[in-house]
Structure 1
Amino acid sequence: MPPKKSAQSSPTQGEPSGSAGLRPMSAFAAARMQSQAQAQPAPANPSEESDTSSSQEELEEKTDSSEDPDKEGLVPEVLNDGLGYESLSDTEDYEEWEQRNIDKPPTIQKIGIISNWRPSETNCREEDCMVYISLEHEETFSAIGQYDLVVKEGIISIYGATLQADGFRYRIFAPATHALPIIRAELDRAEIEVRHCKHTMRGLKHLAPSLWKRVWNHSLHNRRWSFGWINKVRDDRLRRPISPLTVHESWNVWDTIHVKPKTGRVPIIMVAGGKASGKSTLCRLLCNHYLKPPQLAESAEKSARKPNSLRTIFFLDLDAGTPEFVPPGLLSLVQIKEPIFGPAFTHPLTDLTESSRIIRAHSNFGFTSSTYYYHYLRAANNLFACYKDLRREFPGAPLIVNFPGAVKGMGGAMLEILEKDFDPTEILYLRKPEEKYLPDFKKQPIFLESQSYQVETRTDVQWKEMHYMSYFHQDGVVHGNVRWNALPMVDVRPWVVPYGPKSSDILGIAGQGHGFARDSLFTLTNCNHLAVVVIEGEKAFRPRENHASLRKPGPNDSRITDDALSFPKVKIARTTDTQLPFVFGSFGVFSGALSPQHSHCIGFVFVRGIDTENKCLHVLTPIPEYTIQRYTRRAEGERPKILLIIGEWYGMGWISHEKYYMAKHVMEKIRHSQERRRARTTAVDQQSTTDDIDTVNEE
């Protein structure tokens, strides 16, 4: 760690106009001044105390007034976060907001402590886009926003992971919608480097304010950093219900779930529980715990050595409603190589991601557990079989299985069946105090206290929309981190996919879970998101429990063509008006379950439009180009293998409003720029008039 500089030698920014030598402070400098003021003895006269606090507020308001609103250019809005007061928009002056809400105290029952670290001249040093922080043993630090974390010295723990000084840079996502991760110094003193990062996801709030507003940190004290240090809940200027990520005592089961010497089995951990019980957070903690270096140093002397390479674990996600790495509607098996530091919408996976990779996924699009009971079980067992095959290449790699929140009725029955099929080493069940019904487990589970880490500020549909929006707005990977594109999807250049009789890159279109007539195929396909499924053989359309859904077309059906037939026994028909190809089924369009053994899903596409004249689909997708070419490239005479699946119709309503909100944002930026230009012109004219008057008086 570089030598610390004194306060006089630390770099400062230029003085704002009209501040009479007042320099803008950063959030850390203001916090340092506040902590020093709190350390002084309180004045005997209460009026003196109020004067001191008011002067400090004036100082902060003056420094904050130098902030250039053109850097962000957000629309000043009046929001309400459901806590009894109006919220502070990103361009609103704090004094105006305070006057509106002075008589509206927040309804938060408990103002809690988030971290106990306090900035001082000895434990904090700022540079251009980073801050060096020294933590004593058991001292904690927390920030809201997005930042890169580098451990310079010692050992720290964050989000269940234990990190050593290896020079590796970790991207941390700490939105206000979820519990904030806490950085804790372990064993001895630790030094960390917290860096500002390019927060491309933040631009999504200009496209969907109702989804992404008030998610990240608020800019303070003339600094546009991607993160902000926070000590108490009341320190948040937006007054959101922020909470720290604290682990319940019953969750400390790390020693219990490790490999047992007697059996020597590789850990297979099943995590189950009801909805909003903390399953996703527990799964991330488990993943991060297994990804720590196998042999941690137990002393400061040993901790100076370089840690061993991170381990590999596998994550079997059977919760298609709220998955961790893939969009909603998929069951997946994922290989994880690096710790997870953020909620699900911060780390969508494609083939470009290096930290983790999708081994295999199946579409559960439009299915429910009651209607397609066997399809869910077959897909889960197929993914588990893939994991067993990979254990030859990755011996000793543990598996964490995440089950959906439905643990009653049919969901509980499937949980019991899969427990028998997987034969896990441990079952972790998150139990609520009022919960009476429990699945009939064959193995005795470890009961943990249910604990929700998600702030209830959005509905389930809005969470899915945020997940889909994060997935479709991916714009590649830079230095191992996902980058997001804040352009409306209607302005993005689409892929052109031919589907005509002479040249087609798709086998056809099919449904899943919902039967519909072929006449409605154009309406259901256009401006909708579809799953991209790769067909590996004819048996994909003939699962054992669903073979009756396929039938031969009759004489009154649409024209049957022999083109695009990869598999002779599968009939592909075309609509009369638009010539869209579809798999023929009992109700016009095939809408049954595909065999998981002979098909897999590689992602989603959004059909932006259909060119019926040139027989082309205009689609948008984050699936990499080489992945698409891998399955569309074929030899002469070979037929396509890609099938587009129509499933759910919700979760994509944000697309139709993106252009409007972006135009509104641009117009507000122009208006703010014009107002500032007029204000500067008026100030110059007034100064010129004053100078003329002074000149006349002198004469």
Structure 2
Amino acid sequence: MKRKAEKQQGTAPVSAFAARKARLQQTKTVVTAENSTHPELTAEPPTKRPRRSLEQPLSQSVPEDDAQRATKQGPVKVTQAVVVKGIRTARPTKLDDAAAIEESEDRSSFNEESEEEDAVEGNAGMMVVPGTEAGYESPADTPGVAMEFPLSKIRLNKSNIVYSDERTLCVRIWEKMSIVLIGRYDLWVKRGVVSVMGAKLHPSPRVYRVYAPSTHSLPVIKCVSGVDGAAEVEFRSCHSGIYRLRDLSPLYQRVWSSANTPADKYSLKQMENATKRTFSVLYTSADDPLKRHLRPLHLEKQWSAAIKNLSQRTGRLQVLVCGPKGSGKSTFGRYLLNHLLSPAPQAESNFHNTDGVAFLDLDLGQPEFSPMGQVYLAHLRSPVFGPPFTHPSLNGGHDGDIIRAHHIGATSPKEDPDHYVLAATNLMEHYRDLFARFPQCPLIINYPGWIFGLGLEVATYLVRSLGLSDVVYMSEKGPMEVVEPLRQATGAARIPLTILPSQPTEFASRSSAQLRSMQMQSYFHMIQPKEISQPVWLDRPIFRNRPFHVRYAGPNQGIHGIMVLGSQISPDLLSDSLEGTVVGVVAVESPNALPSPHADPENEPNDSDINIDITNNPSEDEPTTRTTTTPPSPLTTLTSLTTPTKENLPYLPPTPGTGTATPLHPSSSSSLGLALIRTINKTTQTIELATPIPASRLRESLERGHPIVLVRGGLDNPNWAISEEYYAARAAERRFRRWRSLGTRMGNTPGEGGEGGGGTGDSESQEKEKDRERKRRLARLKERVRRAKDVPFMTVIEDHGRRRQDEAERERRGALWKLRKKAVVEEESEVGY
């Protein structure tokens, strides 16, 4: 009876909180650890709950019906897999499964209409073979959750639709009601006050850009207060080009809105059937045509209370947000940031933020406004509505800019925690300079999930030394070996410690490594034209773009040093190890950033060694001799430290006696961004760089006497860049075939209303010529696909095996990801990563 009642109850829509509570009660079991040598570790909360179907008991696995149904399927399809340095993507071998015609075509509307078809044919998901992260992330073994979640609290009808057309939808939202959309849209509040991701938006001419992809929980637009009990909000389609990245990577497929939902069909019933906006209104998760795992982005009540309490600090707020991995730190920081950047109603607070908010991001693996491998200080002046890959950098627009950044060259600070702490301390000093100019500018510090072992020591040191006002820890379940040192550190600094419940995402359609790849790819394809306020994305493969040709030797030298962090590389292998890698572009501001030649790091010279006063107790009859030496320039010192290789590359060798290179000191160097080294031309002694860094910024750094050093660290290999040309070629072929079949269905046959209908012979010859041209164009596209397969480090494999078929089917349905944590602590610095 109990199982029957649970089954019946699972079919009805339930809220996200009720479902989470029910799953927690179902999965609550008593686990007895036998011969445990670390009993205190049982208090550590798991970052994410075990993955299983909600309608299955704990002991039940995948239903037998699915397996039986799989064995009764028809002939096995031939699937293709693209393997790029350990990354394999299952894709069907149909020729209709490819994508992207001429890059100059305007194909926005055509792409939008075929999103659902492309997702099915193109096998939208991407299966990653676990490598370095094995034991932590894996694809879920069970099919997608079949529970229907309510999203919007209103249903569109004549009373709440103010006006509607093919691009715009204006909705009247009653107080305490909400609406959820998926896709990309511009939001304009006309009447009343609405809340979106922590921000309270009032009526104004300002239009906000919102990105709501299926990879993250969807933002909820809720009416806080209104005129006559309702607020009016206009949603407008926008074309920024980010959706075109799906032609370059399968990770960007099945991300945005696809076919029209029931709500869209109602609001567009007076339009043509082919009308499609860049967003869709969802009543429940079952309305999604692609049947993806969609959930609303709700906020815990304790989170709301903490955000309201912290915002009362106004300009005196300097808060550090920390906690275990996957506990919701980034979400909490984004909500707090948006809340501080939006004016609150007068009844709640008299504080109006006009100085912006400083955001100090110390999370190397999943940063908010920068690609991985960097720590930075950003100054934000506008709320941000979207996941990190929709704003991978800030280029000094009205939304904000990067004050200072440092390249660490890794996704984890555990390799060089000293350099990490020095960079964080330097960024805090620059925040104090910013605070002197903007006295009402609060600070939010985003600390990574490295909260155990050595990471805890770093966190407590920062709490004691940075002069904070608050610390927020995102886990009520401890463990005590983390909470107690934090409590002691905050007590010694005399600042409050706020402990909040974690709010992890139980399921994810992309793993952490895949999200990093998406953000890195978005970073290299985004541009910020001066004519418009919003960034746009280019869909050309990165190796088809015109690169920067920078000389590394001879006259007009642009690259003055090359450094390799973390490992020692022979000078003879330096050129081979650099090609096809992502490096940091660092400007050396002072000779103090460089280590002294042939000296121990402990005995490096300081500023007092530059100016020397020779006054060794002179006698009265001898005049005082004072000699002052001119400080050496950064370029002179850098040139004396480099060792030319056989290609004449300016190599900065490792520090003698250490085996590794000493990183540039953060106090006298800064990161300009990242670059991808395409190739090194030994004849012309130039390096071809693909980088989104503006050329004016590089030129300005050189004109100020700051030489540029390329720093190669341990960042993920740019597998996405290697496979872009292949996916683009396949996309071109698929789109051309679809266009040709569409022309055939439209009846473009000789003598039927076409041009030249007067002569039958002429029309037949013209049609034959057009057919020959179409065949030649298709042949060129096929040749492009063939050439795209023959690139280094990538292999296209045709596999007729059942395993590949099952993987393709699971990816077609949209695989979810779950997180696992090590049960036994093997090394303190590894815990939590």
TM normalised by structure 1 equals 0.77
Query: Are the structure 2 counterparts of residues 371 and 680 from structure 1 closer, same or farther at C-alpha, using a change threshold of 3 Å?
Result: closer
Q: 1:285 aligns with which of 318, 335, 346?
A: 335
Q: Secondary structure at the match of 1:118?
A: coil
Q: 1:205 aligns with which of 240, 243, 246?
A: 246
Q: Secondary structure at the match of 1:251?
A: helix
Aligned 8 A contact 2:190 2:233 in 1? yes
User: Residue 180 of structure 2 aligns to which amino acid in structure 1?
Assistant: S
Aligned 8 A contact 1:507 1:564 in 2? no
1:87-486 superposed matches below 5 A: 107-108=144-145, 110-124=147-161, 125-188=163-226, 189-209=230-250, 211-220=251-260, 221-252=273-304, 253-259=306-312, 266-293=316-343, 296-298=345-347, 310-366=354-410, 368-431=412-475, 433=477, 435-439=479-483, 440-441=485-486, 442-443=489-490, 444-453=496-505, 455-477=507-529, 479-486=532-539
Aligned to 2:721: 655
Query: Are the structure 2 counterparts of residues 563 and 539 from structure 1 closer, same or farther at C-alpha, using a change threshold of 3 Å?
Result: closer
User: Residue 399 of structure 2 aligns to which amino acid in structure 1?
Assistant: S
Query: Are the structure 2 counterparts of residues 455 and 541 from structure 1 closer, same or farther at C-alpha, using a change threshold of 3 Å?
Result: farther
Q: Using the alignment, how far apart are the partners of 2:638 and 2:733 within structure 1?
A: 57
Q: 1:584 aligns with which of 640, 650, 653?
A: 653
Aligned 8 A contact 1:70 1:673 in 2? no
Aligned 8 A contact 1:172 1:341 in 2? yes
Give the drift of 1:265: 7.3
1:4-19 superposed matches below 5 A: none
User: Residue 451 of structure 1 aligns to which amino acid in structure 2?
Assistant: Q
Q: Using the alignment, how far apart are the partners of 1:68 and 1:259 within structure 2?
A: 49
Query: Are the structure 2 counterparts of residues 403 and 326 from structure 1 closer, same or farther at C-alpha, using a change threshold of 3 Å?
Result: same
1:25-44 superposed matches below 5 A: none
Q: Using the alignment, how far apart are the partners of 2:363 and 2:556 within structure 1?
A: 38
Residues 1:598 and 2:686 aligned together: no
Aligned 8 A contact 2:355 2:439 in 1? no
Aligned 8 A contact 2:364 2:411 in 1? no
Structure 1 unmatched runs, 5+: 1-66, 84-104, 552-561, 689-699
Q: Secondary structure at the match of 1:111?
A: coil
What does the per-residue CA deviation read over 1:176-198, in whole Å, with 9 as the maximum and x for residues that have no partner? 11011111111221101100001
Q: Percent identity among equivalent residues?
A: 27
Q: Secondary structure at the match of 2:176?
A: coil
Q: Using the alignment, how far apart are the partners of 1:153 and 1:563 within structure 2?
A: 59
User: Residue 745 of structure 2 aligns to which amino acid in structure 1?
Assistant: A
1:566-581 superposed matches below 5 A: 566-567=636-637, 570-576=640-646, 578-581=647-650
Aligned to 1:608: 678
Q: Using the alignment, how far apart are the partners of 1:568 and 1:607 within structure 2?
A: 21
Aligned residues: 575
Question: What is the Cα-based RMSD across aligned positions, in Å?
Answer: 3.2
Q: 1:530 aligns with which of 583, 587, 591?
A: 583
What does the per-residue CA deviation read over 1:93-134, in whole Å, with 9 as the maximum and x for residues that have no partner? xxxxxxxxxxxx974253111111211112112024111111
Query: Are the structure 2 counterparts of residues 682 and 123 from structure 1 closer, same or farther at C-alpha, using a change threshold of 3 Å?
Result: same
Q: Using the alignment, how far apart are the partners of 2:469 and 2:651 within structure 1?
A: 44
Query: Are the structure 2 counterparts of residues 218 and 411 from structure 1 closer, same or farther at C-alpha, using a change threshold of 3 Å?
Result: same
Q: Using the alignment, how far apart are the partners of 1:259 and 1:297 within structure 2?
A: 13
User: Residue 287 of structure 2 aligns to which amino acid in structure 1?
Assistant: D
User: Residue 738 of structure 2 aligns to which amino acid in structure 1?
Assistant: H
Moved more, 251-260 or 142-151: 251-260
Q: Using the alignment, how far apart are the partners of 1:651 and 1:454 within structure 2?
A: 28
Query: Are the structure 2 counterparts of residues 502 and 79 from structure 1 closer, same or farther at C-alpha, using a change threshold of 3 Å?
Result: closer
Aligned 8 A contact 1:516 1:589 in 2? no
Q: Using the alignment, how far apart are the partners of 1:572 and 1:78 within structure 2?
A: 49
Aligned 8 A contact 2:311 2:340 in 1? no
Q: Secondary structure at the match of 2:664?
A: coil
User: Residue 710 of structure 2 aligns to which amino acid in structure 1?
Assistant: L
Give the drift of 1:375: 1.1
Give the drift of 1:687: 12
Query: Are the structure 2 counterparts of residues 656 and 589 from structure 1 closer, same or farther at C-alpha, using a change threshold of 3 Å?
Result: farther
Q: Using the alignment, how far apart are the partners of 1:505 and 1:181 within structure 2?
A: 45
Q: Using the alignment, how far apart are the partners of 2:738 and 2:126 within structure 1?
A: 29
Aligned 8 A contact 1:177 1:454 in 2? no
Aligned 8 A contact 1:217 1:227 in 2? yes
Q: Using the alignment, how far apart are the partners of 1:215 and 1:135 within structure 2?
A: 26
Aligned to 1:667: 733
Aligned 8 A contact 2:353 2:440 in 1? no
Query: Are the structure 2 counterparts of residues 345 and 68 from structure 1 closer, same or farther at C-alpha, using a change threshold of 3 Å?
Result: closer
What does the per-residue CA deviation read over 1:371-417, in whole Å, with 9 as the maximum and x for residues that have no partner? 42211111111101111111110002110011010110000110000
Give the drift of 1:461: 1.7
Aligned to 2:21: none
Aligned 8 A contact 2:182 2:282 in 1? yes
Query: Are the structure 2 counterparts of residues 527 and 185 from structure 1 closer, same or farther at C-alpha, using a change threshold of 3 Å?
Result: same
Give the drift of 1:564: 9.3
Q: Using the alignment, how far apart are the partners of 1:109 and 1:128 within structure 2?
A: 32
Structure 2 unmatched runs, 5+: 1-108, 128-141, 261-272, 491-495, 605-631, 755-833
Higher normalized contact order (CA 8 Å, seq sep 6+, divided by chain length): 2
TM normalised by structure 2 equals 0.65
User: Residue 154 of structure 2 aligns to which amino acid in structure 1?
Assistant: W
Q: Secondary structure at the match of 1:296?
A: coil
Q: Using the alignment, how far apart are the partners of 1:511 and 1:604 within structure 2?
A: 15
Q: Using the alignment, how far apart are the partners of 2:728 and 2:737 within structure 1?
A: 14
Aligned to 2:544: 491
Aligned 8 A contact 2:581 2:717 in 1? no
Q: Using the alignment, how far apart are the partners of 1:355 and 1:254 within structure 2?
A: 22
User: Residue 584 of structure 2 aligns to which amino acid in structure 1?
Assistant: A
Q: Using the alignment, how far apart are the partners of 1:666 and 1:367 within structure 2?
A: 35
Give the drift of 1:433: 3.8
Aligned 8 A contact 1:292 1:311 in 2? no
Give the drift of 1:468: 0.5
User: Residue 194 of structure 1 aligns to which amino acid in structure 2?
Assistant: F
1:535-546 superposed matches below 5 A: 535-542=588-595
Q: Using the alignment, how far apart are the partners of 2:602 and 2:692 within structure 1?
A: 32
Aligned 8 A contact 2:178 2:221 in 1? yes
What does the per-residue CA deviation read over 1:239-260, in whole Å, with 9 as the maximum and x for residues that have no partner? 1110001001221213422445
